[in-house]
Amino acid sequence: MNRPPGGSLAPRLAPATIVTVEHDPLRDDGRRYAARLRRAGVEVEEWRYPGLAHGTLSLLGRIGAAERMLTDLAHSLRRVLHRPAIEGSTPANDRQQPALEDAP
């Protein structure tokens, strides 16, 4: 992506949530990516889970850590969706959508 003339990429990029677990070959890549986004001025929420392994979310219903991770991710997404993207705009989830029978 090309940087806008005289500007930063940050205003064009959505906030990011980066999740890493201790036992994952991609952990360090995730942490570096989060740092790069922050340096570029992007809002980053970073979740680190010590003691967990790659694929933890696939264990939903079997281990409590997977439930907690999913809950944390849902809260992060909710925070982003509940705030206006542009001052004065309405959050996406508050916009009125036509009922299916009213849709063109």
**Distance of alpha carbon 79 from alpha carbon 64, whole angstroms:** 23
Q: Tell me, what's the pLDDT at 13?
A: 81
**Distance of alpha carbon 73 from alpha carbon 57, whole angstroms:** 11
Q: Tell me, what's the pLDDT at 66?
A: 93
**Distance of alpha carbon 12 from alpha carbon 96, whole angstroms:** 25
Domain assignments of the chain as residue spans, ordered by start? 14-86
Find how far residue 79's CA is from the centre of its chain.
Answer: 10
Q: Tell me, what's the pLDDT at 38?
A: 93
Across the chain, which has 104 residues, the per-10-residue mean pLDDT values are 50 85 96 93 92 94 93 90 61 45 44
